[in-house]
Protein backbone atom coordinates (compact mmCIF):
# COMPACT_ATOMS: atom_id res chain seq x y z
CA UNK A 1 0.00 0.00 0.00
CA UNK A 2 2.84 2.36 0.91
CA UNK A 3 4.68 1.45 -2.29
CA UNK A 4 1.58 2.15 -4.40
CA UNK A 5 1.17 5.54 -2.72
CA UNK A 6 4.78 6.47 -3.55
CA UNK A 7 4.31 5.35 -7.15
CA UNK A 8 1.14 7.44 -7.42
CA UNK A 9 2.90 10.52 -6.03
CA UNK A 10 5.71 9.97 -8.54
CA UNK A 11 3.23 9.95 -11.41
CA UNK A 12 1.53 13.07 -10.04
CA UNK A 13 4.93 14.81 -9.93
CA UNK A 14 5.58 13.83 -13.54
CA UNK A 15 2.12 15.07 -14.49
CA UNK A 16 2.70 18.46 -12.87
CA UNK A 17 6.15 18.69 -14.51
CA UNK A 18 4.53 17.99 -17.87
CA UNK A 19 2.00 20.75 -17.21
CA UNK A 20 4.78 23.24 -16.50
CA UNK A 21 6.73 22.22 -19.60
CA UNK A 22 3.76 22.42 -21.96
CA UNK A 23 2.70 25.73 -20.41
CA UNK A 24 6.16 27.23 -20.92
CA UNK A 25 6.51 25.85 -24.45
CA UNK A 26 3.04 26.98 -25.52
CA UNK A 27 4.11 30.21 -27.30
CA UNK A 28 6.68 28.25 -29.32
CA UNK A 29 3.97 25.79 -30.40
CA UNK A 30 1.86 28.73 -31.58
CA UNK A 31 4.79 30.13 -33.53
CA UNK A 32 5.46 26.75 -35.11
CA UNK A 33 1.78 26.36 -36.05
CA UNK A 34 1.76 29.79 -37.73
CA UNK A 35 4.92 28.97 -39.70
CA UNK A 36 3.54 25.62 -40.86
CA UNK A 37 0.22 27.13 -41.92
CA UNK A 38 2.01 29.89 -43.82
CA UNK A 39 4.28 27.42 -45.62
CA UNK A 40 1.28 25.27 -46.49
CA UNK A 41 -0.65 28.23 -47.89
CA UNK A 42 2.39 29.41 -49.87
CA UNK A 43 2.88 25.91 -51.29
CA UNK A 44 -0.75 25.69 -52.37
CA UNK A 45 -1.07 29.13 -53.97
CA UNK A 46 2.31 29.07 -55.74
CA UNK A 47 2.49 25.41 -56.80
CA UNK A 48 -1.03 23.95 -57.00
CA UNK A 49 -3.44 26.82 -57.56
CA UNK A 50 -1.84 28.11 -60.83
CA UNK A 51 -2.43 24.68 -62.42
CA UNK A 52 -6.12 24.42 -61.46
CA UNK A 53 -8.71 24.59 -64.25
CA UNK A 54 -11.14 27.52 -64.36
CA UNK A 55 -9.01 29.60 -62.01
CA UNK A 56 -11.59 32.38 -61.94
CA UNK A 57 -14.03 29.85 -60.42
CA UNK A 58 -11.71 27.77 -58.22
CA UNK A 59 -9.62 30.58 -56.72
CA UNK A 60 -12.34 32.26 -54.57
CA UNK A 61 -13.23 29.03 -52.62
CA UNK A 62 -9.52 28.39 -52.04
CA UNK A 63 -9.02 31.92 -50.71
CA UNK A 64 -12.11 31.58 -48.51
CA UNK A 65 -10.83 28.32 -46.97
CA UNK A 66 -7.43 29.90 -46.27
CA UNK A 67 -9.06 33.00 -44.80
CA UNK A 68 -11.21 30.89 -42.48
CA UNK A 69 -8.20 28.80 -41.47
CA UNK A 70 -6.06 31.75 -40.41
CA UNK A 71 -8.89 33.81 -38.91
CA UNK A 72 -10.34 31.06 -36.74
CA UNK A 73 -6.84 30.17 -35.57
CA UNK A 74 -6.29 33.80 -34.60
CA UNK A 75 -9.60 33.86 -32.72
CA UNK A 76 -9.03 30.61 -30.84
CA UNK A 77 -5.55 31.74 -29.77
CA UNK A 78 -6.47 35.29 -28.71
CA UNK A 79 -10.04 35.08 -27.35
CA UNK A 80 -10.16 34.21 -23.63
CA UNK A 81 -12.02 30.92 -23.18
CA UNK A 82 -14.27 32.48 -20.54
CA UNK A 83 -13.23 32.43 -16.88
CA UNK A 84 -15.70 31.91 -14.07
CA UNK A 85 -14.71 35.09 -12.24
CA UNK A 86 -14.88 37.33 -15.33
CA UNK A 87 -17.83 39.37 -16.51
CA UNK A 88 -20.06 37.91 -19.21
CA UNK A 89 -18.88 38.48 -22.77
CA UNK A 90 -20.75 41.29 -24.51
CA UNK A 91 -21.56 41.35 -28.23
CA UNK A 92 -19.29 43.53 -30.29
CA UNK A 93 -19.86 45.63 -33.37
CA UNK A 94 -18.05 46.14 -36.63
CA UNK A 95 -17.42 44.21 -39.79
CA UNK A 96 -15.92 41.20 -38.02
CA UNK A 97 -19.13 40.60 -36.05
CA UNK A 98 -22.15 38.88 -37.55
CA UNK A 99 -25.60 40.30 -36.83
CA UNK A 100 -28.13 37.94 -35.23
CA UNK A 101 -31.67 37.69 -36.51
CA UNK A 102 -32.89 39.05 -33.16
CA UNK A 103 -30.95 41.55 -31.08
CA UNK A 104 -30.21 40.23 -27.61
CA UNK A 105 -28.52 41.51 -24.50
CA UNK A 106 -25.85 39.90 -22.35
CA UNK A 107 -26.76 36.85 -20.37
CA UNK A 108 -29.00 34.09 -21.70
CA UNK A 109 -29.17 34.58 -25.46
CA UNK A 110 -31.24 31.75 -26.90
CA UNK A 111 -34.96 32.22 -27.36
CA UNK A 112 -37.36 30.11 -25.34
CA UNK A 113 -38.81 28.51 -28.47
CA UNK A 114 -38.68 24.84 -27.49
CA UNK A 115 -35.60 25.37 -25.31
CA UNK A 116 -35.61 25.25 -21.50
CA UNK A 117 -32.89 27.42 -19.95
CA UNK A 118 -32.15 26.93 -16.27
CA UNK A 119 -29.73 28.79 -14.05
CA UNK A 120 -26.69 26.62 -13.39
CA UNK A 121 -25.93 25.48 -9.87
CA UNK A 122 -22.71 26.80 -8.34
CA UNK A 123 -20.01 25.10 -6.29
CA UNK A 124 -16.75 26.18 -4.73
CA UNK A 125 -13.64 25.08 -6.61
CA UNK A 126 -11.46 22.80 -4.48
CA UNK A 127 -8.33 24.25 -6.08
CA UNK A 128 -8.80 28.04 -6.17
CA UNK A 129 -11.73 28.32 -3.73
CA UNK A 130 -13.80 30.55 -6.03
CA UNK A 131 -17.46 29.93 -6.80
CA UNK A 132 -18.10 28.62 -10.28
CA UNK A 133 -21.19 27.55 -12.24
CA UNK A 134 -22.03 24.08 -13.48
CA UNK A 135 -19.87 22.76 -16.36
CA UNK A 136 -16.89 24.90 -15.32
CA UNK A 137 -13.62 23.17 -14.44
CA UNK A 138 -10.27 24.27 -13.08
CA UNK A 139 -7.33 24.18 -15.49
CA UNK A 140 -4.06 23.20 -13.82
CA UNK A 141 -1.95 25.00 -16.44
CA UNK A 142 -3.91 28.29 -16.50
CA UNK A 143 -4.65 28.11 -12.77
CA UNK A 144 -8.23 29.38 -13.27
CA UNK A 145 -11.73 27.97 -13.58
CA UNK A 146 -12.93 27.93 -17.20
CA UNK A 147 -16.59 28.08 -18.24
CA UNK A 148 -17.63 24.94 -20.15
CA UNK A 149 -14.06 23.70 -19.96
CA UNK A 150 -13.16 21.23 -22.69
CA UNK A 151 -9.36 20.91 -22.50
CA UNK A 152 -6.12 22.87 -22.44
CA UNK A 153 -4.54 22.76 -25.88
CA UNK A 154 -0.78 23.23 -26.25
CA UNK A 155 -0.69 20.37 -28.80
CA UNK A 156 -1.28 19.15 -31.48
CA UNK A 157 -2.79 22.28 -33.12
CA UNK A 158 -1.01 24.60 -30.68
CA UNK A 159 -3.30 27.35 -29.38
CA UNK A 160 -1.55 27.73 -25.99
CA UNK A 161 -4.69 28.17 -23.91
CA UNK A 162 -7.88 26.48 -22.80
CA UNK A 163 -10.78 25.65 -25.06
CA UNK A 164 -13.92 26.86 -23.34
CA UNK A 165 -17.24 28.62 -23.78
CA UNK A 166 -16.06 31.65 -25.74
CA UNK A 167 -13.57 30.07 -28.14
CA UNK A 168 -14.69 26.43 -28.57
CA UNK A 169 -16.71 27.24 -31.69
CA UNK A 170 -13.64 28.81 -33.31
CA UNK A 171 -11.58 25.77 -32.27
CA UNK A 172 -13.95 23.38 -34.01
CA UNK A 173 -14.21 25.53 -37.14
CA UNK A 174 -10.44 25.90 -37.24
CA UNK A 175 -10.08 22.11 -37.20
CA UNK A 176 -12.74 21.81 -39.91
CA UNK A 177 -10.95 24.24 -42.22
CA UNK A 178 -7.58 22.69 -41.39
CA UNK A 179 -8.96 19.33 -42.54
CA UNK A 180 -10.40 20.92 -45.70
CA UNK A 181 -7.20 22.75 -46.58
CA UNK A 182 -4.89 19.78 -46.02
CA UNK A 183 -7.32 17.47 -47.85
CA UNK A 184 -7.36 19.64 -50.98
CA UNK A 185 -3.60 20.13 -50.82
CA UNK A 186 -3.14 16.36 -50.59
CA UNK A 187 -5.56 15.57 -53.44
CA UNK A 188 -4.82 18.44 -55.82
CA UNK A 189 -1.07 18.48 -55.17
CA UNK A 190 -0.51 14.79 -55.85
CA UNK A 191 0.98 15.22 -59.32
CA UNK A 192 3.34 18.00 -58.15
CA UNK A 193 4.47 15.74 -55.29
CA UNK A 194 5.38 13.00 -57.79
CA UNK A 195 7.19 15.60 -59.87
CA UNK A 196 9.08 16.86 -56.83
CA UNK A 197 10.40 13.40 -55.91
CA UNK A 198 11.43 12.72 -59.51
CA UNK A 199 8.82 10.11 -60.44
CA UNK A 200 7.80 11.88 -63.64
CA UNK A 201 9.57 12.48 -66.93
CA UNK A 202 9.85 16.20 -66.24
CA UNK A 203 13.08 17.44 -64.64
CA UNK A 204 11.86 21.01 -64.50
CA UNK A 205 10.62 22.53 -61.21
CA UNK A 206 9.44 26.05 -62.12
CA UNK A 207 8.03 26.98 -58.71
CA UNK A 208 9.26 29.37 -56.03
CA UNK A 209 8.87 26.79 -53.24
CA UNK A 210 11.88 24.42 -53.18
CA UNK A 211 11.19 20.79 -54.03
CA UNK A 212 12.26 19.49 -50.62
CA UNK A 213 10.04 22.03 -48.84
CA UNK A 214 7.08 21.03 -50.99
CA UNK A 215 7.64 17.30 -50.41
CA UNK A 216 7.81 17.80 -46.63
CA UNK A 217 4.75 20.07 -46.71
CA UNK A 218 2.80 17.53 -48.75
CA UNK A 219 3.69 14.62 -46.43
CA UNK A 220 2.83 16.69 -43.35
CA UNK A 221 -0.49 17.72 -44.90
CA UNK A 222 -1.50 14.09 -45.43
CA UNK A 223 -0.67 13.21 -41.81
CA UNK A 224 -2.38 16.31 -40.38
CA UNK A 225 -5.48 15.73 -42.51
CA UNK A 226 -5.94 12.22 -41.11
CA UNK A 227 -5.06 13.09 -37.51
CA UNK A 228 -7.14 16.27 -37.26
CA UNK A 229 -10.06 14.61 -39.06
CA UNK A 230 -10.16 12.02 -36.25
CA UNK A 231 -10.01 14.81 -33.64
CA UNK A 232 -12.72 16.79 -35.42
CA UNK A 233 -14.98 13.76 -35.69
CA UNK A 234 -14.56 13.08 -31.96
CA UNK A 235 -15.40 16.68 -31.05
CA UNK A 236 -18.41 16.85 -33.33
CA UNK A 237 -19.69 13.57 -31.89
CA UNK A 238 -19.35 15.00 -28.38
CA UNK A 239 -21.12 18.20 -29.42
CA UNK A 240 -23.96 16.16 -30.92
CA UNK A 241 -24.25 14.31 -27.60
CA UNK A 242 -24.29 17.55 -25.60
CA UNK A 243 -21.03 17.01 -23.74
CA UNK A 244 -17.47 18.32 -23.61
CA UNK A 245 -14.32 16.19 -23.59
CA UNK A 246 -14.16 16.31 -19.79
CA UNK A 247 -17.87 15.59 -19.44
CA UNK A 248 -17.58 12.58 -21.75
CA UNK A 249 -15.12 11.05 -19.29
CA UNK A 250 -17.29 11.96 -16.30
CA UNK A 251 -20.42 10.54 -17.93
CA UNK A 252 -18.77 7.14 -18.32
CA UNK A 253 -18.28 7.12 -14.54
CA UNK A 254 -21.87 8.24 -13.98
CA UNK A 255 -23.14 5.43 -16.19
CA UNK A 256 -21.31 2.87 -14.05
CA UNK A 257 -22.67 4.42 -10.85
CA UNK A 258 -26.23 4.43 -12.20
CA UNK A 259 -25.91 0.90 -13.55
CA UNK A 260 -24.69 -0.36 -10.18
CA UNK A 261 -27.94 0.74 -8.55
CA UNK A 262 -30.12 -0.50 -11.42
CA UNK A 263 -30.72 2.94 -12.91
CA UNK A 264 -29.93 4.59 -16.25
CA UNK A 265 -27.83 7.73 -16.62
CA UNK A 266 -29.37 10.50 -18.74
CA UNK A 267 -27.40 13.60 -19.69
CA UNK A 268 -29.73 16.54 -19.03
CA UNK A 269 -27.74 18.72 -21.47
CA UNK A 270 -28.47 16.37 -24.38
CA UNK A 271 -31.41 17.84 -26.31
CA UNK A 272 -30.93 15.70 -29.41
CA UNK A 273 -28.17 15.81 -32.00
CA UNK A 274 -29.69 18.47 -34.25
CA UNK A 275 -30.56 20.82 -31.39
CA UNK A 276 -27.19 20.29 -29.72
CA UNK A 277 -25.37 21.25 -32.91
CA UNK A 278 -27.58 24.32 -33.43
CA UNK A 279 -26.95 25.43 -29.86
CA UNK A 280 -23.21 24.94 -30.18
CA UNK A 281 -22.88 26.87 -33.46
CA UNK A 282 -25.70 29.21 -32.36
CA UNK A 283 -27.42 29.23 -35.73
CA UNK A 284 -31.09 29.06 -36.56
CA UNK A 285 -34.12 31.15 -37.54
CA UNK A 286 -33.98 33.20 -34.35
CA UNK A 287 -30.21 33.29 -33.96
CA UNK A 288 -27.27 33.76 -36.33
CA UNK A 289 -27.56 32.88 -40.03
CA UNK A 290 -26.00 29.75 -41.52
CA UNK A 291 -23.39 31.71 -43.50
CA UNK A 292 -21.47 32.32 -40.26
CA UNK A 293 -20.18 28.76 -40.76
CA UNK A 294 -18.43 29.69 -44.02
CA UNK A 295 -17.51 33.32 -43.33
CA UNK A 296 -14.94 33.99 -40.58
CA UNK A 297 -17.19 36.21 -38.47
CA UNK A 298 -17.45 36.41 -34.71
CA UNK A 299 -20.70 35.56 -32.97
CA UNK A 300 -21.83 35.17 -29.37
CA UNK A 301 -22.30 31.78 -27.69
CA UNK A 302 -25.92 30.93 -26.94
CA UNK A 303 -25.39 31.44 -23.20
CA UNK A 304 -23.09 33.28 -20.83
CA UNK A 305 -22.14 30.05 -19.07
CA UNK A 306 -24.32 30.73 -16.00
CA UNK A 307 -27.47 29.18 -17.53
CA UNK A 308 -27.81 26.07 -19.65
CA UNK A 309 -30.37 24.49 -21.93
CA UNK A 310 -31.70 21.26 -20.43
CA UNK A 311 -34.08 18.55 -21.42
CA UNK A 312 -37.69 19.34 -20.70
CA UNK A 313 -38.52 18.29 -17.14
CA UNK A 314 -34.88 17.80 -16.07
CA UNK A 315 -33.30 19.84 -13.30
CA UNK A 316 -30.16 17.68 -13.20
CA UNK A 317 -28.73 14.51 -14.70
CA UNK A 318 -30.76 11.35 -14.17
CA UNK A 319 -29.06 8.41 -12.54
CA UNK A 320 -26.73 10.22 -10.13
CA UNK A 321 -27.54 11.74 -6.80
CA UNK A 322 -26.49 15.04 -5.31
CA UNK A 323 -22.91 14.82 -4.10
CA UNK A 324 -21.90 12.16 -6.61
CA UNK A 325 -20.80 14.65 -9.28
CA UNK A 326 -17.10 14.56 -10.08
CA UNK A 327 -15.10 17.68 -9.24
CA UNK A 328 -11.54 18.91 -9.72
CA UNK A 329 -9.80 16.83 -7.10
CA UNK A 330 -6.90 17.89 -4.94
CA UNK A 331 -3.38 17.08 -6.09
CA UNK A 332 -3.21 14.14 -3.69
CA UNK A 333 -6.32 12.49 -5.13
CA UNK A 334 -6.41 10.18 -8.08
CA UNK A 335 -9.34 11.35 -10.22
CA UNK A 336 -8.04 14.52 -11.85
CA UNK A 337 -10.39 15.86 -14.50
CA UNK A 338 -8.95 19.20 -15.52
Task: Check pLDDT > 80 for residue 334.
Answer: no
What is the pTM assigned to this prediction? 0.87
Per-residue pLDDT at 105: 45
Distance CA 153, CA 26 (A): 9
For the stretch 288-316, pLDDT in tens is: 999 999 999 999 999 999 999 998 888 88
Q: Which of 145, 70, 158 is nearest to 337 (CA)?
A: 145
Active site residue 62: no
- The pLDDT of residue 22 is 54
List beta partners, residue 307: 119
Nearest to 49 by CA among 35, 68, 64, 34: 64
Which one of 77, 153, 162, 225 is the catalytic residue? 153
State pLDDT tens for residues 250-296: 899 898 988 888 889 999 999 999 999 999 999 988 789 999 999 99
Residue 217: pLDDT band by 50, 70, 90 thresholds?
very high
Residue 2 reports pLDDT greater than 50: no
Amino acid sequence: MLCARHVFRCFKWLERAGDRITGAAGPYFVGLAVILQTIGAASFFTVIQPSLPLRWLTTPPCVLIALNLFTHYYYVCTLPPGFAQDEALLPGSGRLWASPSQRTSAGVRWSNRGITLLTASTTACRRCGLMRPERAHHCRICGRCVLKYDHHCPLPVGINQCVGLNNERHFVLFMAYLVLSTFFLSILGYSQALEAVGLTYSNNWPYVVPQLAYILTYMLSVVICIAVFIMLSWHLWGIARGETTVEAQDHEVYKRIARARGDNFVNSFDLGKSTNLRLFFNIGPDRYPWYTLILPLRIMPYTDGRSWARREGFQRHQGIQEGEELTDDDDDDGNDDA
